[in-house]
Chains A and B, each alone.
Chain A
Amino acid sequence: MANALELELKHLIIDTLELEDVTPDDIDRDEPLFVEGLGLDSIDALELGLALQKTYGIKLEADSEESRRHFNNLKSLAALVEARRVT
Protein backbone atom coordinates (compact mmCIF):
# COMPACT_ATOMS: atom_id res chain seq x y z
CA MET A 1 0.00 0.00 0.00
CA ALA A 2 2.69 2.42 1.04
CA ASN A 3 4.67 1.50 -2.05
CA ALA A 4 1.76 2.08 -4.39
CA LEU A 5 1.28 5.51 -2.89
CA GLU A 6 4.98 6.26 -3.09
CA LEU A 7 5.01 5.33 -6.77
CA GLU A 8 1.99 7.55 -7.31
CA LEU A 9 3.79 10.40 -5.58
CA LYS A 10 6.90 9.85 -7.66
CA HIS A 11 4.81 10.29 -10.77
CA LEU A 12 3.13 13.34 -9.28
CA ILE A 13 6.50 14.92 -8.52
CA ILE A 14 7.86 14.18 -11.97
CA ASP A 15 4.72 15.40 -13.75
CA THR A 16 4.22 18.48 -11.62
CA LEU A 17 7.79 19.66 -11.79
CA GLU A 18 8.30 18.44 -15.36
CA LEU A 19 11.46 16.56 -14.47
CA GLU A 20 12.08 15.19 -17.91
CA ASP A 21 15.24 13.25 -17.21
CA VAL A 22 14.01 11.66 -14.01
CA THR A 23 12.33 8.26 -13.79
CA PRO A 24 10.48 6.98 -10.70
CA ASP A 25 13.43 4.70 -10.01
CA ASP A 26 15.71 7.72 -9.66
CA ILE A 27 13.79 8.98 -6.64
CA ASP A 28 14.99 7.35 -3.47
CA ARG A 29 12.42 7.25 -0.69
CA ASP A 30 14.96 8.28 1.96
CA GLU A 31 16.90 10.81 -0.03
CA PRO A 32 16.17 14.49 0.58
CA LEU A 33 13.93 15.93 -2.12
CA PHE A 34 15.05 19.51 -1.79
CA VAL A 35 18.40 21.20 -2.24
CA GLU A 36 20.31 17.93 -1.99
CA GLY A 37 18.97 14.79 -3.61
CA LEU A 38 16.73 15.81 -6.48
CA GLY A 39 17.90 19.37 -6.10
CA LEU A 40 14.49 20.98 -5.97
CA ASP A 41 14.18 24.49 -4.61
CA SER A 42 11.65 26.35 -2.52
CA ILE A 43 9.51 27.35 -5.51
CA ASP A 44 9.23 23.69 -6.42
CA ALA A 45 8.17 22.98 -2.85
CA LEU A 46 5.33 25.49 -3.19
CA GLU A 47 4.28 23.96 -6.46
CA LEU A 48 4.40 20.45 -5.11
CA GLY A 49 2.35 21.54 -2.11
CA LEU A 50 -0.33 22.94 -4.43
CA ALA A 51 -0.34 19.75 -6.50
CA LEU A 52 -0.80 17.67 -3.35
CA GLN A 53 -3.71 19.84 -2.35
CA LYS A 54 -5.31 19.47 -5.75
CA THR A 55 -4.84 15.72 -5.90
CA TYR A 56 -5.41 14.68 -2.31
CA GLY A 57 -7.05 17.65 -0.61
CA ILE A 58 -4.20 17.95 1.86
CA LYS A 59 -4.02 20.79 4.35
CA LEU A 60 -0.84 21.94 6.04
CA GLU A 61 -0.12 23.88 9.20
CA ALA A 62 1.43 27.28 8.82
CA ASP A 63 4.43 26.12 10.84
CA SER A 64 7.38 26.19 8.47
CA GLU A 65 9.46 23.68 10.44
CA GLU A 66 6.61 21.24 10.28
CA SER A 67 6.21 21.55 6.53
CA ARG A 68 9.93 21.28 6.00
CA ARG A 69 9.77 17.96 7.79
CA HIS A 70 6.91 16.71 5.61
CA PHE A 71 8.72 17.70 2.45
CA ASN A 72 11.97 16.18 3.53
CA ASN A 73 11.85 13.02 1.44
CA LEU A 74 9.44 10.77 -0.38
CA LYS A 75 8.84 8.67 2.69
CA SER A 76 7.75 11.61 4.83
CA LEU A 77 5.67 12.98 1.98
CA ALA A 78 3.88 9.65 1.63
CA ALA A 79 3.25 9.59 5.36
CA LEU A 80 1.76 13.08 5.13
CA VAL A 81 -0.56 12.12 2.29
CA GLU A 82 -1.56 8.90 4.06
CA ALA A 83 -2.49 10.82 7.20
CA ARG A 84 -4.18 13.84 5.65
CA ARG A 85 -5.73 12.80 2.40
CA VAL A 86 -9.43 13.41 2.03
CA THR A 87 -9.80 12.07 -1.49
Chain B
Amino acid sequence: MNDSPGAPQHWARIQESGSLAGMRIMVWIRRHLGRLPFRIVLGPVIVYYYLGQALPRRASRRYLERIWPLHAGHAPRQPWWLGLKHFMAFGQSLMDKVDAWSGMSMGVKLTPEHRACLDQAIRSGRGGLMLVSHIGNLEICSAISDSRDDFHVTQLMHTRNSRKFNQLLDRSTLRRGPEIIEVTEITPATALALAERINAGGFVVIAADRVPINESGRVRHIDFLGASAPFPEGPFWLAALLRCPIYTLSCLREGTSHRVEFQPFDDTSHLRRTDREAWREDAMHRYVAWLKDQCRRYPLQWFNFFPFWQTDDRYDG
Protein backbone atom coordinates (compact mmCIF):
# COMPACT_ATOMS: atom_id res chain seq x y z
CA MET B 1 0.00 0.00 0.00
CA ASN B 2 1.40 3.39 -0.82
CA ASP B 3 0.71 6.99 -0.13
CA SER B 4 0.11 8.13 -3.66
CA PRO B 5 -2.87 10.43 -4.04
CA GLY B 6 -5.98 8.46 -4.82
CA ALA B 7 -4.86 5.31 -3.07
CA PRO B 8 -7.11 4.34 -0.19
CA GLN B 9 -5.62 5.57 3.01
CA HIS B 10 -4.24 2.90 5.26
CA TRP B 11 -6.09 2.62 8.54
CA ALA B 12 -2.88 2.72 10.54
CA ARG B 13 -2.00 6.09 9.07
CA ILE B 14 -5.27 7.59 10.13
CA GLN B 15 -4.94 9.19 13.51
CA GLU B 16 -7.52 7.97 15.91
CA SER B 17 -9.58 11.06 16.35
CA GLY B 18 -10.27 12.76 19.57
CA SER B 19 -7.60 14.07 21.79
CA LEU B 20 -6.60 12.02 24.74
CA ALA B 21 -7.69 14.82 27.06
CA GLY B 22 -11.16 14.93 25.54
CA MET B 23 -11.54 11.20 25.86
CA ARG B 24 -10.32 11.29 29.40
CA ILE B 25 -12.99 13.83 30.24
CA MET B 26 -15.59 11.52 28.73
CA VAL B 27 -14.32 8.61 30.76
CA TRP B 28 -14.39 10.75 33.87
CA ILE B 29 -17.98 11.81 33.22
CA ARG B 30 -19.03 8.23 32.64
CA ARG B 31 -17.42 6.95 35.77
CA HIS B 32 -18.21 9.74 38.19
CA LEU B 33 -21.47 11.24 36.98
CA GLY B 34 -23.04 8.14 35.47
CA ARG B 35 -24.69 6.94 32.35
CA LEU B 36 -27.20 9.69 31.70
CA PRO B 37 -24.85 12.71 31.84
CA PHE B 38 -22.45 10.74 29.69
CA ARG B 39 -25.09 10.12 27.08
CA ILE B 40 -26.11 13.76 27.12
CA VAL B 41 -22.53 14.86 26.47
CA LEU B 42 -21.80 12.02 24.04
CA GLY B 43 -24.56 13.09 21.63
CA PRO B 44 -23.06 16.49 20.71
CA VAL B 45 -19.54 15.03 20.72
CA ILE B 46 -20.51 12.40 18.17
CA VAL B 47 -22.40 14.93 16.03
CA TYR B 48 -19.38 17.22 16.12
CA TYR B 49 -17.15 14.35 15.12
CA TYR B 50 -19.54 13.23 12.40
CA LEU B 51 -19.64 16.71 10.87
CA GLY B 52 -15.95 17.35 11.22
CA GLN B 53 -14.40 14.08 10.11
CA ALA B 54 -14.96 13.61 6.40
CA LEU B 55 -12.85 10.50 5.95
CA PRO B 56 -14.57 8.22 8.45
CA ARG B 57 -17.94 9.67 7.47
CA ARG B 58 -17.39 8.70 3.84
CA ALA B 59 -16.01 5.32 4.82
CA SER B 60 -19.13 4.72 6.87
CA ARG B 61 -21.35 5.73 3.98
CA ARG B 62 -19.57 3.42 1.53
CA TYR B 63 -19.98 0.57 3.96
CA LEU B 64 -23.64 1.29 4.72
CA GLU B 65 -24.44 1.44 1.01
CA ARG B 66 -23.05 -2.07 0.67
CA ILE B 67 -24.49 -3.68 3.78
CA TRP B 68 -27.92 -2.07 4.05
CA PRO B 69 -29.49 -3.92 1.11
CA LEU B 70 -28.37 -7.21 2.71
CA HIS B 71 -29.66 -6.17 6.10
CA ALA B 72 -32.84 -4.33 5.27
CA GLY B 73 -33.51 -5.37 1.69
CA HIS B 74 -33.16 -1.84 0.33
CA ALA B 75 -30.61 0.95 0.01
CA PRO B 76 -30.25 3.38 2.95
CA ARG B 77 -33.29 5.68 2.76
CA GLN B 78 -31.80 8.45 4.85
CA PRO B 79 -28.04 7.96 4.40
CA TRP B 80 -27.05 10.97 6.46
CA TRP B 81 -29.15 9.92 9.43
CA LEU B 82 -28.07 6.30 9.14
CA GLY B 83 -24.43 7.40 9.12
CA LEU B 84 -25.01 9.36 12.30
CA LYS B 85 -26.60 6.31 13.89
CA HIS B 86 -23.52 4.34 12.86
CA PHE B 87 -21.29 6.88 14.62
CA MET B 88 -23.56 6.84 17.66
CA ALA B 89 -23.18 3.09 17.84
CA PHE B 90 -19.44 3.64 17.91
CA GLY B 91 -19.79 6.16 20.74
CA GLN B 92 -21.91 3.64 22.60
CA SER B 93 -19.23 1.00 22.12
CA LEU B 94 -16.64 3.32 23.65
CA MET B 95 -18.84 3.71 26.69
CA ASP B 96 -19.27 -0.05 26.90
CA LYS B 97 -15.51 -0.46 26.74
CA VAL B 98 -15.06 1.90 29.63
CA ASP B 99 -17.74 0.06 31.57
CA ALA B 100 -16.21 -3.31 30.88
CA TRP B 101 -12.74 -2.20 31.87
CA SER B 102 -14.02 -0.47 34.97
CA GLY B 103 -15.33 -3.79 36.15
CA MET B 104 -18.99 -2.87 35.94
CA SER B 105 -21.15 -5.90 35.45
CA MET B 106 -22.13 -6.17 31.85
CA GLY B 107 -25.18 -8.02 30.69
CA VAL B 108 -23.53 -10.75 28.66
CA LYS B 109 -25.55 -13.44 26.98
CA LEU B 110 -24.27 -16.63 25.48
CA THR B 111 -26.75 -18.97 23.85
CA PRO B 112 -26.54 -22.50 25.26
CA GLU B 113 -24.86 -23.61 22.06
CA HIS B 114 -22.10 -20.98 22.25
CA ARG B 115 -21.64 -21.50 25.97
CA ALA B 116 -21.24 -25.24 25.49
CA CYS B 117 -18.66 -24.59 22.81
CA LEU B 118 -16.71 -22.20 25.04
CA ASP B 119 -16.85 -24.57 28.01
CA GLN B 120 -15.66 -27.43 25.90
CA ALA B 121 -12.84 -25.37 24.41
CA ILE B 122 -11.62 -24.40 27.86
CA ARG B 123 -12.05 -27.88 29.32
CA SER B 124 -10.13 -29.53 26.50
CA GLY B 125 -7.03 -27.71 27.78
CA ARG B 126 -5.77 -27.35 24.23
CA GLY B 127 -6.25 -23.61 24.05
CA GLY B 128 -6.71 -22.11 20.64
CA LEU B 129 -6.69 -19.19 18.31
CA MET B 130 -9.75 -16.95 18.23
CA LEU B 131 -10.29 -15.03 15.02
CA VAL B 132 -12.04 -11.74 15.63
CA SER B 133 -12.85 -8.58 13.71
CA HIS B 134 -13.59 -4.93 14.32
CA ILE B 135 -17.27 -5.57 14.62
CA GLY B 136 -18.93 -5.31 18.00
CA ASN B 137 -17.07 -4.91 21.23
CA LEU B 138 -14.42 -7.36 22.23
CA GLU B 139 -13.66 -5.67 25.52
CA ILE B 140 -16.79 -7.31 26.85
CA CYS B 141 -15.15 -10.65 26.16
CA SER B 142 -12.17 -9.48 28.15
CA ALA B 143 -14.55 -9.02 31.01
CA ILE B 144 -15.52 -12.69 30.69
CA SER B 145 -11.90 -13.74 30.72
CA ASP B 146 -11.44 -11.70 33.89
CA SER B 147 -14.31 -13.47 35.55
CA ARG B 148 -13.11 -16.97 34.77
CA ASP B 149 -9.89 -18.25 36.22
CA ASP B 150 -9.55 -20.94 33.60
CA PHE B 151 -9.96 -18.69 30.56
CA HIS B 152 -6.62 -17.07 29.77
CA VAL B 153 -6.71 -14.67 26.87
CA THR B 154 -3.84 -13.01 25.07
CA GLN B 155 -4.61 -10.39 22.51
CA LEU B 156 -2.31 -9.82 19.56
CA MET B 157 -2.52 -6.17 18.59
CA HIS B 158 -0.88 -4.01 16.03
CA THR B 159 0.93 -1.26 17.76
CA ARG B 160 -0.12 1.75 15.77
CA ASN B 161 -3.78 2.25 16.49
CA SER B 162 -5.93 1.87 19.55
CA ARG B 163 -2.92 2.59 21.65
CA LYS B 164 -4.29 5.93 22.71
CA PHE B 165 -7.53 4.51 23.91
CA ASN B 166 -5.88 1.66 25.73
CA GLN B 167 -3.46 4.01 27.41
CA LEU B 168 -6.40 6.00 28.53
CA LEU B 169 -8.15 3.00 29.96
CA ASP B 170 -5.06 1.92 31.78
CA ARG B 171 -4.92 5.26 33.49
CA SER B 172 -8.57 5.77 34.12
CA THR B 173 -9.68 2.35 35.16
CA LEU B 174 -8.58 -0.21 37.62
CA ARG B 175 -8.52 -3.26 35.45
CA ARG B 176 -5.78 -4.17 33.11
CA GLY B 177 -7.82 -6.45 30.89
CA PRO B 178 -6.30 -9.31 28.95
CA GLU B 179 -2.64 -9.69 28.28
CA ILE B 180 -1.76 -7.76 25.15
CA ILE B 181 1.14 -8.54 22.88
CA GLU B 182 1.86 -5.56 20.69
CA VAL B 183 3.60 -6.14 17.42
CA THR B 184 4.47 -4.21 14.32
CA GLU B 185 4.96 -7.43 12.41
CA ILE B 186 4.65 -11.13 13.03
CA THR B 187 8.13 -12.50 13.62
CA PRO B 188 9.35 -15.92 14.77
CA ALA B 189 9.46 -14.41 18.26
CA THR B 190 5.76 -13.55 18.04
CA ALA B 191 4.91 -17.05 16.85
CA LEU B 192 6.88 -18.55 19.73
CA ALA B 193 5.20 -16.34 22.31
CA LEU B 194 1.77 -17.31 20.99
CA ALA B 195 2.61 -21.01 20.78
CA GLU B 196 3.70 -20.88 24.40
CA ARG B 197 0.34 -19.41 25.49
CA ILE B 198 -1.63 -21.95 23.49
CA ASN B 199 0.45 -24.91 24.67
CA ALA B 200 -0.42 -23.83 28.20
CA GLY B 201 -4.13 -24.04 27.32
CA GLY B 202 -4.52 -20.32 26.71
CA PHE B 203 -6.41 -18.54 23.96
CA VAL B 204 -4.99 -16.03 21.53
CA VAL B 205 -7.17 -13.33 19.99
CA ILE B 206 -6.23 -12.03 16.58
CA ALA B 207 -8.19 -9.71 14.30
CA ALA B 208 -8.12 -10.73 10.66
CA ASP B 209 -9.93 -7.84 9.01
CA ARG B 210 -7.18 -5.23 8.92
CA VAL B 211 -3.99 -5.32 6.91
CA PRO B 212 -0.95 -4.44 8.99
CA ILE B 213 1.15 -1.67 7.65
CA ASN B 214 4.33 -3.72 7.23
CA GLU B 215 2.86 -6.78 5.65
CA SER B 216 1.52 -5.40 2.43
CA GLY B 217 3.22 -8.30 0.68
CA ARG B 218 1.02 -10.86 2.34
CA VAL B 219 -2.37 -9.52 1.47
CA ARG B 220 -5.17 -11.33 -0.27
CA HIS B 221 -7.88 -9.42 -2.07
CA ILE B 222 -11.22 -11.06 -1.50
CA ASP B 223 -14.69 -10.12 -2.56
CA PHE B 224 -16.48 -8.64 0.43
CA LEU B 225 -19.95 -7.14 0.12
CA GLY B 226 -19.66 -6.82 -3.61
CA ALA B 227 -16.16 -5.44 -4.11
CA SER B 228 -12.60 -6.50 -3.60
CA ALA B 229 -11.07 -5.67 -0.22
CA PRO B 230 -7.62 -6.47 1.17
CA PHE B 231 -7.37 -9.03 3.97
CA PRO B 232 -4.21 -10.04 5.80
CA GLU B 233 -2.82 -13.55 5.27
CA GLY B 234 -0.79 -13.34 8.48
CA PRO B 235 -3.47 -14.52 10.94
CA PHE B 236 -4.21 -17.52 8.75
CA TRP B 237 -0.57 -18.48 8.37
CA LEU B 238 -0.29 -18.28 12.14
CA ALA B 239 -3.40 -20.42 12.48
CA ALA B 240 -1.87 -23.02 10.18
CA LEU B 241 1.52 -23.01 11.88
CA LEU B 242 0.29 -23.04 15.47
CA ARG B 243 -1.51 -26.35 14.90
CA CYS B 244 -4.37 -25.80 17.27
CA PRO B 245 -8.15 -25.42 17.40
CA ILE B 246 -9.39 -22.25 15.70
CA TYR B 247 -12.53 -20.38 16.73
CA THR B 248 -14.40 -17.26 15.76
CA LEU B 249 -15.38 -14.85 18.49
CA SER B 250 -17.54 -11.75 18.53
CA CYS B 251 -19.46 -9.71 21.01
CA LEU B 252 -22.42 -7.75 19.71
CA ARG B 253 -24.67 -5.29 21.45
CA GLU B 254 -28.26 -6.43 21.51
CA GLY B 255 -30.54 -3.91 23.18
CA THR B 256 -29.10 -3.32 26.61
CA SER B 257 -27.00 -6.47 26.80
CA HIS B 258 -24.31 -8.14 24.77
CA ARG B 259 -24.46 -11.30 22.77
CA VAL B 260 -21.25 -13.29 22.69
CA GLU B 261 -20.73 -15.68 19.82
CA PHE B 262 -18.04 -18.30 20.15
CA GLN B 263 -17.94 -20.89 17.42
CA PRO B 264 -15.56 -23.55 16.18
CA PHE B 265 -13.90 -22.54 12.93
CA ASP B 266 -11.36 -25.24 12.24
CA ASP B 267 -8.56 -27.31 13.73
CA THR B 268 -5.10 -27.18 12.21
CA SER B 269 -3.56 -29.83 14.49
CA HIS B 270 -3.24 -32.33 11.68
CA LEU B 271 -2.94 -29.95 8.76
CA ARG B 272 -0.33 -31.23 6.34
CA ARG B 273 2.34 -28.90 5.11
CA THR B 274 1.46 -29.52 1.49
CA ASP B 275 -2.17 -28.60 2.16
CA ARG B 276 -1.39 -25.40 3.99
CA GLU B 277 -1.62 -22.96 1.11
CA ALA B 278 -4.98 -24.39 0.03
CA TRP B 279 -6.20 -24.34 3.62
CA ARG B 280 -5.20 -20.69 4.03
CA GLU B 281 -7.06 -19.72 0.90
CA ASP B 282 -10.19 -21.59 1.92
CA ALA B 283 -10.02 -20.38 5.52
CA MET B 284 -9.78 -16.75 4.42
CA HIS B 285 -12.90 -17.12 2.31
CA ARG B 286 -14.73 -18.75 5.19
CA TYR B 287 -13.63 -15.96 7.52
CA VAL B 288 -14.89 -13.33 5.08
CA ALA B 289 -18.21 -15.19 4.81
CA TRP B 290 -18.43 -15.16 8.61
CA LEU B 291 -17.64 -11.44 8.66
CA LYS B 292 -20.33 -10.77 6.08
CA ASP B 293 -22.88 -12.62 8.16
CA GLN B 294 -21.92 -10.63 11.26
CA CYS B 295 -22.27 -7.37 9.35
CA ARG B 296 -25.59 -8.38 7.87
CA ARG B 297 -27.04 -9.12 11.29
CA TYR B 298 -25.44 -6.19 13.17
CA PRO B 299 -24.76 -3.63 10.43
CA LEU B 300 -24.19 -0.62 12.68
CA GLN B 301 -21.57 -2.32 14.82
CA TRP B 302 -18.91 -2.38 12.16
CA PHE B 303 -16.15 -0.14 13.43
CA ASN B 304 -13.74 0.04 10.53
CA PHE B 305 -14.00 3.75 9.81
CA PHE B 306 -11.44 3.89 7.03
CA PRO B 307 -11.66 3.18 3.28
CA PHE B 308 -12.04 -0.56 3.41
CA TRP B 309 -12.39 -1.41 -0.26
CA GLN B 310 -9.83 -1.04 -3.01
CA THR B 311 -12.25 1.08 -4.98
CA ASP B 312 -12.71 3.50 -2.10
CA ASP B 313 -10.94 6.74 -2.57
CA ARG B 314 -10.20 9.21 0.09
CA TYR B 315 -11.27 12.03 -2.16
CA ASP B 316 -14.56 10.58 -3.23
CA GLY B 317 -18.01 11.22 -1.87
Contact = CB atoms under 8 A, between A and B. Distances in A.
B195 A53 contact: yes
B185 A64 contact: yes
Interface stretch (B171-179, B186-194, B307-315): B186-194
A53 B192 contact: yes
A67 interface: yes
Interface residues of A, number: 21
Interface in B136-195: 181, 183-193, 195
Contacts of A49: 187-189, 191-192
A43 B238 CA distance: 9
A46 B273 contact: no
B237 interface: yes
A interface, over-half SS: helix
A69 to B, nearest CB: 11
A18 B272 CA distance: 11
SS class of chain B's interface: helix, strand, loop or mixed?
helix
B146 to A, nearest CB: 24
Contact of A50 (B183, B185, B218, B241): B241
A67 B189 contact: yes
B192 A64 contact: no
B193 A62 contact: yes
Contact of B189 (A42, A47, A48, A61): A61
B195 A62 contact: no
Contacts of B189: 49, 60-64, 66-67
Interface in B259-307: 273-274
Interface residues of B, number: 21
Contacts of B237: 43, 46
Most interface-central of B185, B187, B237, B241 (chain A CB within 10 A): B187
A61 B191 CA distance: 11
Nearest to A49: B188
Interface string B51-74: 000000000000000000000000
Question: Max chain A CB contacts within 10 Å: which of B183, B187, B188, B190?
Answer: B188
Contacts of A62: 181, 183, 187, 189-190, 193
A50 B187 contact: no
A85 interface: no
A64 B191 contact: no
Interface in A43-87: 43, 45-50, 53, 58-64, 66-68, 71
Contacts of A66: 189
B195 A18 contact: no
A47 B187 contact: no
Interface of A: 18, 42-43, 45-50, 53, 58-64, 66-68, 71
> 4 closest pairs, A vs B, by CB?
A49-B188, A60-B189, A46-B191, A64-B187
23 contacts: A18-B274, A43-B237, A45-B187, A45-B188, A46-B186, A46-B237, A48-B188, A49-B189, A49-B191, A50-B192, A50-B241, A50-B242, A53-B195, A59-B196, A60-B187, A60-B189, A60-B192, A60-B193, A62-B193, A64-B184, A66-B189, A67-B187, A67-B189
